[in-house]
Amino acid sequence: MNVWDILIHYHPAFLKGLAVTIQLSAIIWSSGLIIGGALGLAGAKFNCAVGWPSRFLSFMLSGVPVLVFLFWLHYPAQAMFDLVINPFYTAALTLSIINIFAVADQVRGVLQDFPRQYLIAAKVTGLTRRQTIFRIQLPLVLRQIIPGLLLLQVTMMHTTLFASLISVEEIFRVAQRINAQVYRPVEIYTALGVFFLLVSLPINGFAFWLKTRFTRNLSEQ
């Protein structure tokens, strides 16, 4: 069986696994962008009360491998509290936490690095605070941050592969089960790569286009 034979013959299983992967990714993306964006905004505005604690937690998380963090929440944490939680929700929570703090770091960094001279110029020209935010600050911030956020979300989608290790029926676990039946690892994992390319490449290309088209150096130079 070649790659296309495997895709044709097992496409229902692959599509089912892909649906779980996309569902998991949607939870991770939405929580990361909404909660992480709000946390980054609060961290930029209230540096001591929110920014430093957020940065410290992000630093601590960056030192823990994703797989270790996932296993810790799935096994010892649930045993400690005498809970049994669906692995899908455990994976969603674990990866959402990582994404939230990663997004918060990006948002906070861009806001804190925003050149003050733009705000001063807006004030001198008589723009209100609302006009300054929506006509100057927000467009420039979005230009700087959107490409990086898109690439981060692609990375988070790739980390959903770890969910297979706690029995989440996402696309990688489906590929493993198919390989156990036919034992064609090269063809099966090539097919898996095709699925990820179809989802990831458009997002990566869009992020690259945004970066080259709209991102500008906002320094005084």
Query: Which residue from 153, 137, 108, 142 is spatially nearest to 214, judged by alpha carbons?
Result: 142
CB 207 within 8 A of CB 153: no
Encoding tokens for residue 78?
A: 């649930």
Encoding tokens for residue 57?
A: 């937690």
The string of pLDDT tens digits covering residues 28-69 is 999 999 999 999 999 998 988 898 999 999 999 988 999 999
- Name the pTM for this structure: 0.86
pLDDT at 98: 96
Classify domain 3-214 at the CATH superfamily level.
Answer: MetI-like (1.10.3720.10)
pLDDT at 220: 45
pLDDT at 181: 87
- C-alpha neighbours within 13 Å on the C-beta side of residue 171: 26
Annotated domain spans of the chain: 3-214
Rounded to the nearest angstrom, the gap between the alpha carbon of residue 199 and the centroid of all alpha carbons in its chain is 14
pLDDT at 221: 43
CA-to-CA dists, residue 152 to 82, 106, 207, 216, 220, angstroms: 34, 10, 10, 19, 28
Buried b (16+ CB within 10 A) or exposed e, 36-50: bbebbebbbeeeeeb
Below-70 pLDDT ranges, the chain: 1, 214-221
Say how far apart CA 44 and CA 22 lie, in whole Å: 31
pLDDT at 15: 86
- C-alpha neighbours within 13 Å on the C-beta side of residue 187: 16
Say how far apart CA 212 and CA 130 lie, in whole Å: 29
Say how far apart CA 96 and CA 113 lie, in whole Å: 26
> For residue 184, how many other CB atoms are within 10 A of its CB?
17
**∠ at Cα 153 (152, 158), nearest 5°?**
95
